[in-house]
């Protein structure tokens, strides 16, 4: 599914070609944000919880090596087999080797953004192994041969009529059926067979507790549990940043995660896996894939606090109107835009610029990541490292020269206003001036403020 990267602005323009769909996308996500606002306002200590969550994560990152070792030792003592993967390729190889050991053919997988990040499914498919995504939204995009467009709501870009068509083709539902209840029940029947037949279940990890070696997985559908409990082998894949020190810290995160994500008090299931059930086998794959590099970047390290609630996507006015695929990464939206450049600056140089820096992402973040500041900082880094077009550099240099000199500035300002008055049609040329595509230009006044002030100034 690795495709050519289309820059964010171009992909967004394409998405916006269907205004009715964009309006629906915007309003649907805004409603999630509205439900989130309503429910967090029922918790008077919400801002305190944000501080606590942030501090717990910052503390953990500041001793990450010790907590990783502590977690590994505890998990091994629990009878869990622990693996370490330096990068995505390493991760995929490890998972594949476990599947091979068990001669596994039927794999079910619940939601794991990490396996999306590592492109596990296409890797395994290339080895002739089919993985069935069991989260309903993920199953929809998988059948439609797409990436999820949202980390919590994977199929938020797809309308029910389209789901109906996808299910008609793949699951044999009635042609033209689009009732969500009917379609979800069809998926239930289809996926039950998959659960019952699965050799191995792969899940993600929401939290990993260093002191006990337990992992916690949160779902509403119950798909992680059905998979993990029915298969002989459970493989849980986690990034190194999922650690928290102690069990009691779960109370802070479980109070915040679902409230901030979807406006629920808590997910239907918050499952704590510590030891495999008798007769079963449990593996944990601990993955770096650029995270220790990010840990070393002072301006960006606290992006590793992220608990993947997706609230910054829901609140982002750009995301709501450009769609998740415009971010050309497994993790879209503001958080995706500060994580992706760490992995590949050239490929993701467009993302930190796909923002107005409005700061809503920072204010909505349950672990207080200064997302919009990091977008600003990434812009500086990408520019310094040479990942912006030469023409932009030239125009910025010219602008800096004009704006740093009062004389050059006054001269340029005067002529810009004259130009606009004399050649309005040229300034309104939609090809030369993107501003003018959908917007009029301000009517240029004869006099600037400073010209007026020199005449009338202090004598008001």
Partner 1 sequence: MSRDKILAAARQNKPAPVPLPEIPAFAWPAEDLLASFSAALEKSGGKANLVKAGTPIAPAVKALYPEAQRIVNYVDGDTAVNEQLVQDPAAIDVVVLKGQLGVAENAAIWLTDWDCANRVLPFLTQHLVLVIDKDTLVGNMHHAYAVMGQQNPAYGVFIAGPSKTADIEQSLVIGAHGPRSMQVFLIER
Partner 2 sequence: MRVALFIPCYVDQFYPQVGIATLKLLQHLGLDVHFPMQQTCCGQPMANGGFEHLTHSCNANFIKAFDGYDYIVSPSGSCVLHVKDHLHDPKQEDKATQVRQRVFELCEFLTDIVQVQSLQARFPKRVAVHQGCHGQRGLQLAASTETVTPRFSKPLQLLKMVEGIELVNLDRPDECCGFGGTFCVTEEAVSAAMGLSRVADYTKHEAQVVTGTDVSCLMHQEGLIKRRKLPVQVMHIAEVLAAGL
Question: What residues numbered 113-142 form the site for partner 1, per CB under 8 A?
Answer: 134-137, 140
CB of 249 to partner 2, least distance (A): 21
CB of 121 to partner 2, least distance (A): 30
CB of 55 to partner 2, least distance (A): 17
- Tell me how far apart the alpha carbons of residues 195 and 109 are, in angstroms, rounded to a whole number: 10
Site residues (CB under 8 A) for partner 2, limited to 47-76: 47
Which positions ≥6 away from 271 have C-beta within 8 Å? 216, 217, 218, 219, 224, 225, 228
Sole binder of partner 2 in the list 6, 26, 51, 59 (CB under 8 A): 26
Assess 248 for contact with partner 2 (CB under 8 A): no
- Tell me how far apart the alpha carbons of residues 171 and 70 are, in angstroms, rounded to a whole number: 45
- Tell me how far apart the alpha carbons of residues 235 and 283 are, in angstroms, rounded to a whole number: 5
Assess 298 for contact with partner 1 (CB under 8 A): yes
CB of 145 to partner 1, least distance (A): 17
Residue 210, classed as helix, strand or coil, is coil
For partner 2, the closer CB: 12 or 330? 12
Assess 365 for contact with partner 1 (CB under 8 A): no
Q: Considering only 191-199, 249-257, 331-339, 406-414, which stretch makes contact with partner 2 by CB under 8 A?
A: 406-414
- Tell me how far apart the alpha carbons of residues 151 and 137 are, in angstroms, rounded to a whole number: 10
Sole binder of partner 2 in the list 128, 278, 279, 442 (CB under 8 A): 442
Answer yes or no: are the C-beta atoms of 38 and 381 closer than 8 Å.
no
Question: Quick one: which of 398, 154, 359 has its CA closest to 262?
Answer: 154
Q: Considering only 1-9, 84-92, 123-131, 377-385, which stretch makes contact with partner 1 by CB under 8 A?
A: 84-92
Phi/psi for 7 (5° steps) reads -55, 150
Q: Considering only 157-165, 195-203, 302-310, 448-456, which stretch makes contact with partner 2 by CB under 8 A?
A: 448-456
Query: How many CA atoms, within 13 angstroms, populate the side-chain half-sphere of residue 100?
Result: 9
Assess 160 for contact with partner 1 (CB under 8 A): yes
Tokens (6 digits) for 180: 């969500």
Assess 179 for contact with partner 2 (CB under 8 A): no
Residue 169, classed as helix, strand or coil, is helix
Assess 370 for contact with partner 2 (CB under 8 A): no
CB of 429 to partner 2, least distance (A): 13
Question: Quick one: which of 367, 212, 194 has its CA closest to 284?
Answer: 212
Sole binder of partner 2 in the list 97, 169, 293, 356 (CB under 8 A): 356
Burial 13-38 (b: 16+ CB within 10 A, else e): eebeeeeeebeebeeebeebbeebee
Sole binder of partner 2 in the list 177, 220, 383, 424 (CB under 8 A): 383
CB of 151 to partner 2, least distance (A): 18
Tokens (6 digits) for 364: 């909505």
19 interface partner picked from partner 1, partner 2, none, CB below 5 to 8 A per type: partner 2
Q: Considering only 51-59, 65-73, 286-294, 446-454, which stretch makes contact with partner 2 by CB under 8 A?
A: 446-454
Binding mask 44-83 for partner 1 (x = CB under 8 A): xx--x--xx--xx-xx-xxxxx--xx--x-----x-----
Binding mask 299-338 for partner 2 (x = CB under 8 A): ----------------x-xx--xx----------------
- Tell me how far apart the alpha carbons of residues 349 and 340 are, in angstroms, rounded to a whole number: 9
Answer yes or no: are the C-beta atoms of 427 and 433 closer than 8 Å.
yes
235 interface partner picked from partner 1, partner 2, none, CB below 5 to 8 A per type: none
- Tell me how far apart the alpha carbons of residues 47 and 397 are, in angstroms, rounded to a whole number: 42
Assess 221 for contact with partner 1 (CB under 8 A): yes
The greatest distance separating any two alpha carbons of the chain, rounded to the nearest whole angstrom, comes to 90
Assess 292 for contact with partner 1 (CB under 8 A): yes
CB of 327 to partner 2, least distance (A): 12
- Tell me how far apart the alpha carbons of residues 323 and 333 are, in angstroms, rounded to a whole number: 9
Tokens (6 digits) for 400: 């800096």
Compute the radius of gyration of the chain from its Cα atoms: 25
169 interface partner picked from partner 1, partner 2, none, CB below 5 to 8 A per type: none
For partner 2, the closer CB: 95 or 369? 369
């Amino acid at each position: 599914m690795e495709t050519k990267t289309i820059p964010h602005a171009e992909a967004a323009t394409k998405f916006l070609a269907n205004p009715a769909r964009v309006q629906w996308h915007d309003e649907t996500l805004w409603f999630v944000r509205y439900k989130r606002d309503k429910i967090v306002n029922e918790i008077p200590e919400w801002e305190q919880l944000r501080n606590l969550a942030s501090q717990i994560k910052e503390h953990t990152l500041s001793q990450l090596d010790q907590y990783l070792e502590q977690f590994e030792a505890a998990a091994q003592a629990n009878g869990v087999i622990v693996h370490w993967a330096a990068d995505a390729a390493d991760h995929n190889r490890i998972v594949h080797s476990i599947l091979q050991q068990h001669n596994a053919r039927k794999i079910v997988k619940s939601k794991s953004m990490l396996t999306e990040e590592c492109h596990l499914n296409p890797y395994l498919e290339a080895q002739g192994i089919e993985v069935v995504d069991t989260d309903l939204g993920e199953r929809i995009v998988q059948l439609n041969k797409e990436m999820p467009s949202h980390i919590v709501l994977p199929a938020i870009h797809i309308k029910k009529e389209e789901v109906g068509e996808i299910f008609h083709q793949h699951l044999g539902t009635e042609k033209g059926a689009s009732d969500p209840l009917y379609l979800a029940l069809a998926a239930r029947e289809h996926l039950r067979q998959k659960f019952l037949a699965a050799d191995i279940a792969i899940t993600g990890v929401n939290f990993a507790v260093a002191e006990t070696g337990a992992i916690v997985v949160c779902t509403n559908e119950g798909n992680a549990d059905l998979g993990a409990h029915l298969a002989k082998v459970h493989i849980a894949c986690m990034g190194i940043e999922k650690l928290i020190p102690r069990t009691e810290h779960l109370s802070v995160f479980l109070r915040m995660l679902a409230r901030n994500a979807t406006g629920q008090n808590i997910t239907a299931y918050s499952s704590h896996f510590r030891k495999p059930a008798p007769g079963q086998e449990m593996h944990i794959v601990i993955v770096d894939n650029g995270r220790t590099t990010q840990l070393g970047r002072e301006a960006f390290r606290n992006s590793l606090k992220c608990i993947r609630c997706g609230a910054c996507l829901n609140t982002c006015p750009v995301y709501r109107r450009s769609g998740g695929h415009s971010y050309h990464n497994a993790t879209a939206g503001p958080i995706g835009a500060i994580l992706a450049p760490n992995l590949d600056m050239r490929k993701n140089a467009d993302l930190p610029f796909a923002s107005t820096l409005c700061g809503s992402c920072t204010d909505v973040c349950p672990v207080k990541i200064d997302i919009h500041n990091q977008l600003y900082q990434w812009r500086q880094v990408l520019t310094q490292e040479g990942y912006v077009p030469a023409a932009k550099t030239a125009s910025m240099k010219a602008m800096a020269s004009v704006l740093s000199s009062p004389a050059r500035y006054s001269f340029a300002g005067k002529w810009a206003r004259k130009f606009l008055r004399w050649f309005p049609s040229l300034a309104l040329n939609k090809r030369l001036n993107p501003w003018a595509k959908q917007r009029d230009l301000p009517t240029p006044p004869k006099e600037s403020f400073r010209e007026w002030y020199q005449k009338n100034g202090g004598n008001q």
